[in-house]
Amino acid sequence: MNTSDLLKGYDLSKLTVGVLGGHSALDVCHGAKQFGFNTVCVARKGREKTFEKYYKSRELGNLGTREVGCIDEVIVCDNFENVLDESVQQKLKEMNTIFVHNRYFWVYFDDFSRVENDFHVPIFGSRTLLKIEERDQLYNQYHLLQDAGIRTPKIYKGLGAGSKGLGIDRPVIVKAAEAKRGFERAFFIVSSDEEYESVGMRMEAEGKIASNWREAIVEEFIVGAPVNFNFFYSPLTGELELMGTDTRRQTNLDGFLRMTADQQAQAQKEVPLKMIETGHIACTVKESILEKAFDLGEKFVTQCNTLPKDLDPSGKGMIGPFALQGAVVAEDGKEDIVIFDVSFRIPGSPGVRSTPYSGYLHGESMSAGERIGLEIKNAVEQGALEKIVT
């Protein structure tokens, strides 16, 4: 899709930043407002109040008139996929919208290729790399990490590994899909081939995991301190920035971790353990780990920037925010970072601004949304908007 055609007719002095109503919408829109852009949110009916009421841009007069909120316009649709409707796209283009995508584009769209081919609104970042996050793609995040020389857990099934006898010789995590919500994973941990079969069959019978659980990736279970490294790569400067670090909060795992061992054993008789992500907590890492993290980020960007045309037709590689999610492990008295998940877009963690790393560079901490707003502002001023949109 030709970027110059997408931007044709746009008034660059009146740009609007657009989002789908969820994930990082508020983070993006707040950041955009800091740099003078209008904002628009495409919200799903039944989930629009957050954007249409509570965070809508408005004047608050009871304590002295002042502007509050960060959502200027809201387009309410029956489904998120309606953003592809011609009428919605026309509204977005009339507002000179630059759209910031997130994982909703994959989760809520039956055919992601329509986003790549039929969404004629410029997207900040790459519109084709997002699908590499998904483990069922012919070339997915595991392949990219391996090609980049980034350490990942040992794979027992998937990526050509494993057959009937997986040869499980240590704790592994089976990344099966939930039975009810296929986009959410219902991980389970086992330590042998026999346990893999028995636990998988039991969880399928109990309706906890999807029937295709034997097709799921099986990888070494890494025991370490979980950390998400949230980066930003700027094509305008050619520099990699660490925006912040955080760790996941999961339900009901977090509840179990607050119990004593005897309470956990008793609770598990009645309450099944789940690992559904519900939020994030800001955390920091030792400075001695930072150079290792930056090295991984640089390798990742280099690999993204050299992908063939069939994977990245734009040829622009990594643009803007991404995250390498993993754990810091201790081995023979030394620490290392093992990466087991990737986000090719803005992470769902506005709390990263609570860590100091972006502030060390920019003078004050910035959210990912603010950094996107700054990048768009700089691109417009430099006449280089085509470099950061696809």
pLDDT of residue 251: 87
Cβ atoms of residues 281 and 254 within 8 Å = no
Residues 343 and 375 in one domain: yes
- For residue 262, the SS3 value is helix
Q: Which of 220, 241, 256 represents a domain boundary (last residue)?
A: 220
pLDDT of residue 390: 97
- Identify whether 136 is part of a domain: no
Q: Which backbone phi and psi does 11 adopt, to 5 degrees?
A: -90, 105
Residues 51 and 159 in one domain: no
Question: Which tens digit of pLDDT belongs to each residue from 113-159?
Answer: 999 999 999 999 999 999 999 888 999 999 999 999 999 999 998 66
- Identify whether 385 is part of a domain: no
pLDDT of residue 181: 73
Mean pLDDT per segment of 10 residues, for the chain of length 390 residues?
93 98 95 98 97 95 80 98 98 98 88 94 96 90 96 83 76 89 78 94 91 91 95 98 93 89 90 81 95 98 97 97 96 93 91 95 97 98 98
Residues 263 and 208 in one domain: no
- Identify whether 387 is part of a domain: no
- Identify whether 130 is part of a domain: no
What pTM value is reported for the model? 0.91
Question: Which tens digit of pLDDT belongs to each residue from 161-176?
Answer: 555 679 999 999 998 9
Distance CA 356, CA 244 (A): 7
pLDDT of residue 21: 97
Residues 62 and 176 in one domain: no
Residues 176 and 302 in one domain: no
Q: Which domain holds residue 367?
A: 141-150+224-380
pLDDT of residue 164: 62
Cβ atoms of residues 26 and 60 within 8 Å = no
Residues 264 and 328 in one domain: yes
Residues 230 and 358 in one domain: yes
pLDDT of residue 350: 86
pLDDT of residue 182: 63
CATH of the domain at 235: 3.30.470.20
Residues 374 and 262 in one domain: yes
Task: Name the nearest CA neighbour of 39 among 319, 348, 373.
Answer: 373
Amino acid at 258: R
Which stretches does DSSP call E strand in the chain? 16-20, 38-44, 58-60, 66-68, 73-77, 97-100, 123-124, 155-157, 172-174, 188-190, 218-220, 225-234, 239-252, 275-282, 320-331, 334-343
Residues 247 and 307 in one domain: yes
Q: Which of 178, 199, 220 represents a domain boundary (last residue)?
A: 220
Domain count, the chain: 3
Residues 261 and 365 in one domain: yes
Distance CA 362, CA 382 (A): 19
